[in-house]
Structure 1
Amino acid sequence: MTRLVFLDVDGTLIDHSQRVPASAQEAVRAAVDAGHVLMLCTGRAIPEIYPDIWDLGFTGIVASNGAYVRLGADVLTDVRLDAAQVAEVSGVLDDLGAHYVWQSPDAMHPSAGFAQAFTELAALTGGQWDRYLDYIADYTREGLPESSSKCTFTVPSATGHDLSDVTGALAGAYTVFAGSISTGAGVSGELVANGVSKGAGLARVVAHLGADVADTIAVGDSANDLPMLAAAGTSIAMGNGTPEAKAAASWVTSRIDEDGLARAFAHAALI
């Protein structure tokens, strides 16, 4: 039976060194060879997906937490915040002393503070993020975009603010998830338009293909994966996942560095 599989990227498919573990590479290729349809389902935008990830055989992507969905060459969803919304959110984040980056299918617009913090993080982690910084360089633009799929931000602890200050200032006008990647001490978050989520992206792909949601499998590890885990027929959390992700899943595999994805695929009878 053909299954439709949705995979988170950070902490699920790629590890802290920005690489796909060998066991995960083998598992993905084996599942594709077995006839299953594999989709990336990530908070990352298209400019943040390394070519060697695509080379594993993914059919499409639910990107930017569901704001952009592409199946093959067909774009199924492309929800953008407009220039006025981008300016509003940026103003709130600036007032709170946050660092942020606007992510779209074709460009990345980091604030000066975000770019500097990420460069410092790469140095502090022994170059683990150098690959990421090098890859997105060609897509990086200055200033605010005219439209954007998503905003990722970090509120440094030194500001005295937290995620509730961001959501409070925006008064429910947007959907905010706790972030899984931080550029340093503090809290991080991810912001998209209301109604956008990985779960909604999964549902869009299922509807387009005329598939049965019971035949879908989702694997993730963090807050933005919760809607995806809830929407899938079978949900699996990584052993390195958050307590909330583990509680939301029907099964918990081992950590990413302990062959977690390969074990998840074996459990789901994909390989």
Structure 2
Amino acid sequence: MTGQSIPGEGFSIAGVERIASGDIKEACLERLARRVETSGAREVWICVPLEMGSVVRTIFYALRNHTAEVRFIPDFRDMRLLNHRMSEVAGHLAIDLSMTPMSGMARVIKRLEDIFIGAAISLLIFPVCLGIAIAIKVSSPGPILFKQYRTGANGKSFKVYKFRSMEVHEEENGKVTQARQGDPRVTKLGAFLRRTSLDELPQFYNVLQGRMSIVGPRPHALAHNEYYKDLVESYMRRHKVKPGITGWAQVNGLRGETDTLDKMERRVEFDLWYIDNWSVWLDLRIIFLTVFKGFFNKNAY
């Protein structure tokens, strides 16, 4: 494989030495050291799966008399990484496999974004919220707000607020039944509020409280978390950031009822992509897209 290049990275592969799993033989180590010397390679990449991690030290020692740079590139292809990077913790080198982007200055910036944009939007929507509250009160008996515990950042529960869109009813044994098309529990006003996402407006109070963000993965009911966490890989990692009023999944059409496992897997995939690629500019883009295409959605019942 001499002369193979990696486009755009500035590397040309001088050669490949394949290592069988298990104990590495002395002859293999000698051949590897000899090939590094004769090829003039400036770097040696040790690319092995995690279960072969014990051979790294052996290879590293075999190359002790060579000046080539040595890199360990573990194989993580079967793992769903999140904000992976190298770091130093308490004097030890660490490979961070699943990390939140909201640490240090990023956490401060995200919170300032929520405070300033959330406060501005709250002032703008106050007359709308007042009108909706009056309409709910006069159109059906029951409270104006619907309150329900959801899972927030780091798995902590919090009480989320919405405008009530259903008739007052009781669920059996803590069961949470998602609203479906033609659901008789949904009021006429509630159907409009859900279709336009206006029922979500009270969550700006959750944002100002610091329990939610304007942008982030949508919070699911606690019962849904318990059900899906063992069915969807990395499901609970979506809780590494605060839940949001809108998110990357929602502006890509993944909102409303998640009545199949495939739908939930797609939503989680988009949520994790957002966490892995977070930036202020991405948040602003999602807010912009929400205003122009996120409010009306045929999947919201």
**TM-score higher than 0.5:** no
Relative contact order (alpha carbons < 8 A, sep ≥ 6): 1 or 2 greater? 1
Q: When the two structures are superposed, what TM-score results if normalisation uses the length of structure 1?
A: 0.29
The structure that is strand-richer by fraction is 1
Q: When the two structures are superposed, what TM-score results if normalisation uses the length of structure 2?
A: 0.27
